Amino acid sequence: MTDREPLLDPVLDPAAMRKQYRAEGLAEQDLATHPMDQFARWFEDAARATLHGTLYEPNAMVVSTADATGRPSSRTVLMKQYDTDGFVFYTNYDSRKARDLAENPQISLLFPWHPLARQVTVTGTARRTGRDETAAYFRSRPHGSQLGAWASAQSTVITSRTDLDTAYAALEARYPEGEQVPVPPHWGGFRITPETIEFWQGRENRLHDRLRYTARADGRWTVERLSP
């Protein structure tokens, strides 16, 4: 297939893939005063959609970072907490995203709630959570996930899957179920303090609603409507 050869099968042709959104709109007067309160409303809708099997992992978000040279990278992680101060996720501090954030704390989050024709985009800065907060969350994880945090040197090259499985098996033997696994010193959380939060609602004819909160110096938020 050449670069210009069209895909004849509409099932496989990205240019032929279209969905007409018919969801209710998003109006300024319906927004919460604080963006995290608005996020809570939409997150509840997304979480309840999982009960009907229409949405998978509502706390999954695409995290985008950039290193000191500006080279970007993205990956999907799971949000584990949100409150008035922002969003929290956990990772290996030696991973690529953590190394990026050490050099450049600017970050973007995207919650892609496609079945609801909604998405939330966040820009802001990231900082590490305290060790007490990290330890409390680590203790809440399943035993296997605790072992996995030790077994995987995230983002590093490994020879084979066997090496990973062997490392996990050794940890499983050392810390059997019921025995406390120590919190890895190289593992912990990041808290994202939002600077902007955009709520996107899909509408008919691609005339989507996009309402963006922007933080002000006095602690309040302004809301702007963006053209779709």
pLDDT single digits (tens) 47-62: 999 998 889 999 999 9
Neighbours of 131 (CB within 10 A): 13
Compute the average pLDDT of residues 214-223. Answer: 96
Compute the average pLDDT of residues 125-142. Answer: 97
Active site residue 206: yes
Predicted local distance difference test score (pLDDT) of residue 7? 59
Compute the average pLDDT of residues 99-111. Answer: 98
Predicted local distance difference test score (pLDDT) of residue 24? 84
Judged against a pLDDT cut of 90, whether residue 119 lies above it is answered with yes
Predicted local distance difference test score (pLDDT) of residue 6? 60
Percent of the chain with pLDDT over 70: 96
State if pTM tops 0.75.
Answer: yes
Name the DSSP letter for residue 34: S
Judged against a pLDDT cut of 60, whether residue 5 lies above it is answered with yes
CB 214 within 8 A of CB 196: yes
Q: Considering only residues 15 and 172, tell me which one the structure prediction assigns the higher pLDDT.
A: 172
Predicted local distance difference test score (pLDDT) of residue 134? 97
CB 124 within 8 A of CB 193: yes
The tokens for 68 are: 């000191």
Query: Confidence class of residue 80 from pLDDT cuts 50, 70 and 90?
Result: very high
pLDDT, tens digit, 9 for 90 and up, residues 142-151: 999 999 999 9
What contacts 177, CB < 8 A, 6 or more positions away? 143
Predicted local distance difference test score (pLDDT) of residue 17? 78
Compute the average pLDDT of residues 95-106. Answer: 98
CA 120 to CA 114: how far, in whole Å? 11
Judged against a pLDDT cut of 60, whether residue 1 lies above it is answered with no
Identify the active-site residue in 41, 206, 220, 225.
206
